[in-house]
C-alpha cells in the first residue's frame, strides 16, 4: 500500500507522515530530505556560487549521490545519510531551506530523485510525503492527502523549530523563505506543487499535531 502526502512547506506533512507510518507499521520516506541532501551537496561542493546554481557541475555529480535513511533507535528518529554520512542536522538549516526550492525545480534533479523514490518504495508498504507524490511519483497511490495551512502559521511553526535547535533567525526571514518556496514550488515547470484531483484536502492551520494524525488515520481506517 502507498500513502501519498503532498502539500506546502512547514504545514506538518512530515510529522503526519511519520505518525501514520509508526501507527500502521509502514516505512516512512521523507522526499523533502532527499532534495535537501542534494542542496547540501551543492553548498558543500561549490555548485552554488554568487547566488547561482552551477547546473553543469551538479549534473556531472548527480549520479554519484547516494541518499538513504536509517532509523536511530536511541532518538527514535529517522536520520538522512548522504554518501554514507549522517546529514540530518545540516539539511535542516535555513541556508539549505533557502536553496532547496531552486535546486528542486531542476529537471534532471527531479528525474533522478523520483527514480530513487520509486525504487525505495518497491519493497513494502510506505508513507511518502513531498510536493508531487500523488501527482507524479505515485499517481495511483492508494491514499492521497493534500496538506495546507496559512503562510503566517507555517512560518511561526518553522521559526519556533529553528529557535529550539539554537539557530539565530528572525521571523520575517523565515516568513519570506516560506513565501518564496511556495512561489517556486507552485510555478516551476517540472512537477509543480499541485493538488491531485482525487486527494483529500486537510487545512492544519488550527489543528494540533495529535488532531492532525487522528483525522488522517480516521480517513484511512474508513
Q: How far is CA 160 from the centre of its chain?
A: 18
What was the pLDDT predicted at 168? 86
Helix (H, G, I), strand (E, B) or coil at 170: coil
What was the pLDDT predicted at 81? 96
Rounded average pLDDT per 10-residue block, the chain, 222 residues = 94 91 91 96 92 94 94 85 96 92 94 93 89 94 96 94 88 94 90 94 92 93 84
Q: How far is CA 117 from the centre of its chain?
A: 12
Q: How far apart are CA 9 and CA 148, in angstroms?
A: 9
The interaxial angle of helices 31-44 and 94-104, nearest 10 deg, is 100
The cell numbers describing 123, all together, are 519493497
pTM for the whole structure: 0.86
Domains of the chain (ranges plus CATH)? 2-221 (3.40.50.300)
Amino acid at each position: 500500500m502507498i500513502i501519498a502526502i503532498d502539500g506546502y512547506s512547514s504545514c506538518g506533512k512530515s510529522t503526519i507522515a511519520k505518525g501514520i507510518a509508526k501507527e500502521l507499521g509502514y516505512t516512512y520516506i521523507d522526499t523533502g530530505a532527499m532534495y535537501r541532501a542534494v542542496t547540501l551537496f551543492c553548498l558543500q561542493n561549490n555548485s552554488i556560487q554568487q547566488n547561482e546554481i552551477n547546473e553543469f557541475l551538479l549534473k556531472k555529480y548527480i549520479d554519484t549521490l547516494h541518499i538513504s535513511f536509517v532509523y536511530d533507535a536511541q532518538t527514535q528518529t529517522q536520520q538522512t545519510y548522504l554518501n554514507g554520512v549522517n546529514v540530518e542536522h545540516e539539511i535542516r538549516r535555513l541556508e539549505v531551506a533557502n536553496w532547496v526550492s531552486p535546486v528542486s525545480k531542476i529537471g534532471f534533479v527531479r528525474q533522478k530523485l523520483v527514480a530513487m523514490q520509486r525504487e525505495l518504495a518497491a519493497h513494502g508498504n510506505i508513507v511518502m510525503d513531498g510536493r508531487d507524490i500523488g501527482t507524479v511519483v505515485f499517481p495511483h497511490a492508494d491514499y492521497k492527502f493534500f496538506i495546507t495551512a496559512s503562510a503566517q502559521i507555517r512560518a511561526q511553526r518553522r521559526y519556533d523549530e529553528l529557535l529550539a535547535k539554537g539557530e539565530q533567525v528572525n521571523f520575517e526571514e523565515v516568513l519570506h523563505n516560506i513565501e518564496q518556496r511556495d512561489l517556486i514550488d507552485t510555478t516551476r515547470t517540472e512537477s509543480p506543487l499541485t493538488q491531485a484531483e482525487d486527494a483529500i484536502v486537510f487545512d492544519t492551520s488550527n489543528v494540533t499535531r495529535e488532531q492532525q494524525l487522528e483525522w488522517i488515520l480516521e480517513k484511512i481506517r474508513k
